[in-house]
């Protein structure tokens, strides 16, 4: 996991050519509260409409969100839909200079009608497609090849998203892959739902889902052995270097030519809301990673994370590089736990700082954790993106509080704090003050409770431009008061029978 984090932190902004079927997705929403008097069909009372890019446009926008520079190559018609799609892509920073306008076919538009019953319960009622899916031939195919060759200049990778709508063809695609190879640009493909993968001859990597892989290979995928057979059959048909088969909630399977294959499981259970766009996100993440020199397995592992984040969204929502890093950091934290040494913590905070996140630091003994502590920590967490709690070691507490403290040992105190949702990291320090930690970690905010008259470390934090905040005091709640209440209660109670002492009736 640390190696994946190191790699993605080192990624630049490579140019990636996106070739495929670009579409415009339109959604018309309305209230469906009655049936038509003319026919037994719902009447949709118009409430609004929205448009977004679809098809290969998902890959382009996903690449942009991940930090790559996407260049689109595909077909649009001389119509309002084509203009709208080009505008939406341009707004994300995508280069649309490779979109070829053709008078012989319209821009592909998929219009979905969504009805709301009782102003809720959205229901997809109907989809209307306006498209011409015939293979591009003659002058149109020549224009596409010219746009593709031009886009290859300075590119590090070409990503092909094939929906079998005429841009990617059996006759034309091998020539485009050969042109990319001549230009030194590898090609990766998210294939169409077709049986014959010879269309993609010469591609470096193919990324089908389980169903597509089974159809193309003729192998019923049920276990590890059948995955390997399906992958090898695809490699043989397409003369590819590797195959990445996505497996929904089971993760992914990566297989280089000749094997062996390797399963990549999701790092945590996924709450799947919508699988649409997951394959596009996988293709984009693989494209970025391999453009930046990652090997197939590392690219597949990153793609598995990005695809997993995508299925937790409703509709297609491009995943950012920062989200992938946050997920990897969380996976690292799950493996190590929240309680970290200062060296590891320093590295994690630096990664967060590079992504613009604001770190809050607080410290204390936190002996006998109580509601006052929790409210205080929640206040501190609200001041930034990440809360670090530094606790005094047992030896440090004894020096500060006396021989009878702490009541709870340092490891137990640290683990209890780590269980709080508002706490991101916990570290233990043996010094009497946190000054050395502050110099090492350089938090953006130093937070202390309102009862603290002098905030130790203020000069250190303010010297490098950090902020010091004094939190609102939670009155009536302190460890000292709780200990005193326990002692008072114990002193007022009759002494308990000594262990093994018998009562008058001779019973224990």
Active site residue ranges: 280
Q: Are strands 108-117 and 205-206 parallel, antiparallel or unpaired?
A: unpaired
The residues that bridge with 390 in the sheet, in sequence order, are: 363, 427
Query: Minimal CA–CA distance to 361: which of 415, 418, 426, 430?
Result: 426
**Rounded distance between C-alpha atoms, residue 203 and residue 161, angstroms:** 13
Q: What share of the chain is helix, strand, coil (3-state, %, to 5)?
A: 40, 25, 35
**Rounded distance between C-alpha atoms, residue 405 and residue 384, angstroms:** 32
Which tokens in the block code for residue 497? Answer: 């029978």
Which tokens in the block code for residue 454? Answer: 């002098």
Q: What is the DSSP letter of 391?
A: E
Q: Are strands 359-364 and 386-392 parallel, antiparallel or unpaired?
A: parallel
Secondary structure (3-state) at 192: coil
Contact (Cβ atoms closer than 8 angstroms) between residue 209 and residue 245: yes
Query: Minimal CA–CA distance to 56: which of 69, 72, 67?
Result: 72
Secondary structure (3-state) at 47: strand
**Rounded distance between C-alpha atoms, residue 393 and residue 384, angstroms:** 26
Q: What is the DSSP letter of 291?
A: H
The residues that bridge with 359 in the sheet, in sequence order, are: 386
């Amino acid at each position: 996991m640390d190696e994946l984090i190191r790699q993605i932190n080192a990624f630049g902004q490579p140019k990636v050519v996106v070739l495929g079927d670009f579409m415009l997705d339109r959604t018309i929403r309305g209230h469906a509260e009655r049936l038509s008097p003319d026919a037994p069909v719902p009447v949709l009372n118009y409430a609004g409409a929205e448009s977004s890019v679809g098809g290969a446009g998902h890959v382009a926008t996903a690449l942009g969100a991940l930090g790559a520079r996407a260049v689109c190559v595909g077909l649009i018609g001389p119509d309002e839909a084509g203009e709208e799609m080009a505008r939406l892509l341009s707004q994300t920073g995508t280069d649309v200079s490779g979109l070829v306008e053709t008078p012989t076919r319209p821009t592909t538009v998929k219009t979905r009608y969504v009805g709301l019953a009782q102003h809720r319960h959205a229901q997809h009622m109907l989809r209307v497609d306006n498209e011409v899916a015939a293979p591009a031939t003659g002058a149109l195919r020549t224009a596409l090849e010219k746009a593709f060759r031009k886009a290859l200049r300075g590119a590090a990778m070409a990503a092909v998203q094939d929906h079998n709508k005429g841009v990617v063809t059996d006759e034309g695609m091998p020539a485009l892959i050969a042109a990319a190879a001549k230009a030194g640009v590898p090609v990766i493909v998210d294939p169409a739902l077709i049986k014959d993968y010879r269309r993609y001859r010469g591609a470096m990597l193919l990324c089908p889902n389980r169903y597509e892989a089974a159809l193309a290979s003729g192998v019923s995928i049920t276990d590890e052995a059948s995955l390997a057979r399906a992958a090898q059959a695809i490699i043989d048909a397409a003369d590819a270097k590797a195959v990445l088969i996505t497996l929904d909630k089971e993760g992914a399977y990566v297989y280089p030519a000749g094997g062996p294959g390797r399963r990549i499981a999701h790092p945590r259970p996924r709450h799947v809301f919508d699988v649409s766009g997951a394959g596009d996100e996988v293709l984009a993440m693989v494209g970025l990673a391999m453009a930046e020199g990652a090997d197939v397995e590392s690219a597949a592992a990153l793609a598995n994370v990005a695809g997993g984040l995508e299925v937790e969204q409703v509709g297609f929502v491009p995943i950012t590089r920062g989200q992938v890093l946050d997920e990897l950091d969380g996976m690292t934290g799950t493996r190590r736990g929240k309680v970290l040494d200062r060296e590891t913590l320093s590295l994690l905070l630096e990664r967060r700082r590079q992504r613009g996140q604001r770190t809050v630091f607080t410290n204390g003994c936190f002996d006998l954790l109580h509601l006052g502590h929790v409210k205080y920590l929640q206040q501190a967490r609200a001041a930034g993106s990440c809360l670090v709690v530094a606790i005094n070691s047992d030896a440090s507490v004894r020096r500060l509080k006396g021989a009878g403290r702490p009541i709870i040992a340092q490891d137990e105190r640290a683990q209890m704090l780590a269980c709080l949702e508002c706490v991101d990291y916990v570290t233990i320090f043996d010094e009497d003050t946190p000054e050395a930690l502050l110099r090492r970690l350089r938090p953006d905010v130093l937070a202390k409770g309102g009862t603290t008259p002098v905030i130790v470390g203020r000069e250190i934090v303010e010297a490098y431009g950090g902020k010091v905040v004094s939190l609102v005091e939670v009155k009536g709640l302190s460890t000292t008061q709780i200990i005193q209440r326990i002692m008072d209660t114990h002193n007022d109670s009759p002494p308990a029978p000594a262990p093994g002492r018998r009562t008058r009736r001779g019973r224990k």
